[in-house]
Structure 1
Amino acid sequence: MSKSASWSFPLELTTEILLRLPPESVVRSRYVSKLWSSITTDPYFTNKFETRSSTRPSLLMFFKNKDKLFVFSFPHHNQNSNEPRSFSQHVDCYHMKYPKDCSFPFAESVHGLICFRTSVNRPIIWNPSMRQFIKLTKPGKRWKDIKVFLGYDPIEGKHKVVCMRRGKVSGEYCRVLTLGSAQQSWRTVETNHKHFAYIDCYSRCINGVLYYEALLDDDSDASIIMSFDVRTEKFDMIKLQLHDFWGMMISYEGRLAYLDYYNPMDNGGIKLWILEDKEKHRWSCKHFVTPFGPRLETSYKIDGVTDAGEFILVPLTFLKSFFILYFDPVRNSLRRVEFKGIADENFRFRNGLGNKRLSALYTIPNHVESLVSF
């Protein structure tokens, strides 16, 4: 097609075609012409792209091998479709080098981005869709050990990084940085509550509010949840009142919840504590009996919940292909999806994986594609 012919497409059609491209291709298209660059950098385009992506969430899986990160994006299958209970699914995969000093603790995908920290106490942001890592500046020269969280404000469409000293009382202030801001600098924000952020803790951003686990300064046995409104940058405290319970923090039906589960293979079931009223610190409890029984020949772990309300189970170790299980507590049904992301022998040997059994598979549910680039 000639250059002149390419401009004969109506603007609406050109926009629609570009919206269907994967994120990395969208960014490359910006170098084709000034028109395409103008289209794909316009807030209307980026918002529409990410809105469409949010309707197609995926299970992001990755593992480390030497200096490489192997990444697999596995679409969450629609539980209401007519496909069989057990089937194979196409997987998008790639591998890339990652920063050597990057650690991967309990993390979540926050509107397409994932936040970690490095061993030298620099926050680092990863956009899996763009295959890009970016190291942020240190929040404080004297901060020797840090804890970082990532939040997203859906109203203003902004990501914010929250940082505090790890294992120290955060009674007066923390540091906050808005990604993509002109100055890209840290601001001091008062926390209003003296507390310790857990050294290794879960965090979740739900509907513009960031939650993370902590302890009260005056009572080392008092476990609490701290909340941070991403838009107003106000902190608040939530009492757990869950007796002797402690589990995995998740988002369930748009609310903060804690997942406590017995061994899913022995039919012990799944217990879920759901935050019903943040102001009154009121929680409710649900218990689901699982239909697993002795059918599971592999050891599985529950690793989150899809936006559709299905619990996701992944194997603790794997060799080549394996099954991901989705448990629907409402229907009390189980379906299996076969993952074949690393079954190809040439791929395994070419990348030094061989036939050894792999473990430490990181899984992040409900990941959406993002055009955020740094």
Structure 2
Amino acid sequence: MFGILGFSAAMGKRQKQQVTGRPSNSPRENSKEVPIDLLIDIFTRLPVEDVARCRCVSKLWSSILRRRDFTQLFLKISSTRPRILFTFLYNGRRIFYSIPQDLDPDRNNYSSPIIPYYQMHFPKDPDRNNYSSRISAYYQMHFPKDLGSSDQVCPPILGLICCKSKKPMICNPSTGESKYISLPSAKTKRMLTVNTSFVYDPIDKLFKVLCMSDDCVSRVSTLGTEEATWRTVECLIPHLPLRKEMFMDGVLYYLALRLDHETSTPYMVVAFDVRLERFKCLPVNRSYINIACSALIKYQGKLAVVWLDGNAIQQHQQLELCVLNDGDEVAWSGIIYELPYFWYNLAADTYVYIVGTTTAGEIVMATSHPREPFYIIYFSTVTHTMIRVEIEFGIVALKPHCSMISTILNHVEDVELMD
């Protein structure tokens, strides 16, 4: 009888599993006596690396693991155990690591570092280095402290990642494949492309890419069509995306700087309806937002702008939220969370930025420099407690050609192959 594959995922480290079967002289084949439904149930309990190994066992198993009902079930189960992705560039390749997102309740403390699981590296893009340097130079000139945002990777959607370049590329870091989907260049009147966003239409179940250039022209391309093309979408208010984005319920939200100077509040949140391909601008009635330490998050099911209050780490004593209560009337409300007295000890002498929120209501912050101890910090809006976790990437992150580390929440593993 089969030894059912065990699933044991310690925080940030996965144990290798083994499949045991009958001896080769067994008169019956295991594949004939195990119902496919039972095999699917077993496969959905496995880590993604073991699913990849099982594809090599037999043609039958390979066909089962490619079935639509299995991949959808695996994705559904995976959504209940989201992971945190860490990514950085090393020698032109984008490397991905991950750990479980939810804190381990059986772990007494987090005094020792966590070793993340190596996911994959993204294929080299010959245009990426030139593109990245122009983007970084532009933002360093306008927002010199904005070091932590994942400016080269869009937030993942249903397990897929879109790496930003002049030719956007989409890959699945869970399968470890070298295959990827590449879109044609979004041609603009100028050389610099400001921002690329990866979005999804949950009604028609279509993935799209939104490209916004510095000439205030936006273009959209739909994946899965026979020939990928770009179509222009207009926004009536000229603006500069600030790389603070979040995708929720079929709408892409991002923080932007108005360029028309027709209002006393320069910042606004732009909502892009993916299905209708329409923009809506939501003015933020705040004269001050710490852009360098801000983020868009999902707070109790609502959109919120959150930032660390203060201009230096010693002054960051509270988290300030601006929560959107009514999208039609654009009504915001303010909430302030006082940070614990030991906050400075947790984040002393480091640059901390806000990553996002977990389903448990925790606001997650992270450092970004690879040559210092790398931390992620969980702040619970329910219990007002704070936990710091150190991540140990090893010698790779210490190499001189390693870029800043970006932290991405709410990644779900998808075992569907890119082909």
Query: Is 2:385 the counterpart of 1:333?
Result: yes
- Contact 1:216/1:223 (CA < 8 Å) preserved in 2? yes
Aligned to 1:178: 222
Q: Describe the superposition over 1:84-122 as per-residue Cα deviations: whole angstroms up to 9, x where unpaired.
A: 24355452125535335334616422332333332xx21
CA-atom RMSD in angstroms:
3.2
Q: Distance in 2 between matches of 1:23 and 1:176?
A: 32
Q: Describe the superposition over 1:142-193 as per-residue Cα deviations: whole angstroms up to 9, x where unpaired.
A: 67433321112334443211123x11133xxx432222x2414225254352
Select the residue among 239, 243, 267 that pairs with 1:223.
Answer: 267
Q: How does 1:96-135 map to 2 (within 5 A)?
A: 96=121, 98-102=124-128, 103=132, 105=151, 107-118=154-165, 121-131=166-176, 132=178, 133-135=180-182
Query: Identity of aligned pairs, percent?
Result: 29
Q: TM-score, normalised by structure 2?
A: 0.73
One-letter amino acid matched to 1:295: N
Kindly tell me: are residues 184 and 202 of structure 1, through their superposed partners in 2, closer, same or farther at Cα, counting changes over 3 Å? farther
Moved more, 281-290 or 129-138: 129-138
Moved more, 59-68 or 19-28: 19-28
Select the residue among 292, 299, 304 that pairs with 2:350.
Answer: 299
State the shift of 1:284 in Å: 1.3
**3-state DSSP of counterpart to 1:49:** helix
One-letter amino acid matched to 1:301: V
Which structure dedicates a bigger proportion of its chain to strand? 1
Kindly tell me: are residues 162 and 24 of structure 1, through their superposed partners in 2, closer, same or farther at Cα, counting changes over 3 Å? farther
Kindly tell me: are residues 5 and 45 of structure 1, through their superposed partners in 2, closer, same or farther at Cα, counting changes over 3 Å? closer
State the shift of 1:21 in Å: 3.6
Q: TM-score, normalised by structure 1?
A: 0.81
Q: Describe the superposition over 1:281-305 as per-residue Cα deviations: whole angstroms up to 9, x where unpaired.
A: 1111111111134423452513322
Q: Describe the superposition over 1:253-293 as per-residue Cα deviations: whole angstroms up to 9, x where unpaired.
A: 33222121135554621111111111111111111111134
Kindly tell me: are residues 87 and 58 of structure 1, through their superposed partners in 2, closer, same or farther at Cα, counting changes over 3 Å? farther
Select the residue among 341, 360, 363 that pairs with 1:308.
Answer: 360
Aligned to 2:144: none
- Contact 1:169/1:217 (CA < 8 Å) preserved in 2? no
- Contact 2:244/2:295 (CA < 8 Å) preserved in 1? yes
Structure 2 gap ranges (5+): 1-21, 133-149
One-letter amino acid matched to 2:319: I
Aligned to 1:324: 376
The total of aligned residue pairs comes to 357
Q: How does 1:357-368 map to 2 (within 5 A)?
A: 360-368=404-412
**3-state DSSP of counterpart to 1:202:** strand
Q: Distance in 2 between matches of 1:220 and 1:371?
A: 49
Kindly tell me: are residues 20 and 333 of structure 1, through their superposed partners in 2, closer, same or farther at Cα, counting changes over 3 Å? same
State the shift of 1:29 in Å: 4.9
Moved more, 45-54 or 91-100: 91-100
Select the residue among 96, 99, 103 that pairs with 1:71.
Answer: 96
Q: How does 1:1-374 map to 2 (within 5 A)?
A: 1=22, 4-23=29-48, 26=51, 29=54, 35-78=60-103, 81=105, 83-86=107-110, 88=112, 89=114, 91-94=116-119, 96=121, 98-102=124-128, 103=132, 105=151, 107-118=154-165, 121-131=166-176, 132=178, 133-140=180-187, 144-146=191-193, 147-164=195-212, 166-170=213-217, 174-179=218-223, 181-188=224-231, 190-198=233-241, 200-216=242-258, 218-219=260-261, 222-247=266-291, 248-253=294-299, 254-262=301-309, 263=312, 265-266=314-315, 268-291=317-340, 292-296=342-346, 297-304=348-355, 305-319=357-371, 322-342=374-394, 348=395, 353=398, 360-372=404-416, 373-374=418-419
One-letter amino acid matched to 2:318: G
Q: Distance in 1 between matches of 2:277 and 2:97?
A: 34
- Contact 1:116/1:125 (CA < 8 Å) preserved in 2? yes
Kindly tell me: are residues 352 and 267 of structure 1, through their superposed partners in 2, closer, same or farther at Cα, counting changes over 3 Å? closer
Kindly tell me: are residues 337 and 223 of structure 1, through their superposed partners in 2, closer, same or farther at Cα, counting changes over 3 Å? closer
Q: Distance in 1 between matches of 2:120 and 2:66?
A: 27
**3-state DSSP of counterpart to 1:84:** coil
Q: Distance in 2 between matches of 1:62 and 1:105?
A: 11
- Contact 1:177/1:184 (CA < 8 Å) preserved in 2? no
**3-state DSSP of counterpart to 2:74:** helix
Kindly tell me: are residues 220 and 135 of structure 1, through their superposed partners in 2, closer, same or farther at Cα, counting changes over 3 Å? farther
Q: Distance in 2 between matches of 1:141 and 1:318?
A: 34
Q: Describe the superposition over 1:166-224 as per-residue Cα deviations: whole angstroms up to 9, x where unpaired.
A: 11133xxx432222x241422525435242343x5222111211112345564376433
Q: Distance in 2 between matches of 1:357 and 1:98?
A: 15
Q: Distance in 2 between matches of 1:35 and 1:193?
A: 55
Moved more, 328-337 or 277-286: 328-337
Kindly tell me: are residues 17 and 82 of structure 1, through their superposed partners in 2, closer, same or farther at Cα, counting changes over 3 Å? closer
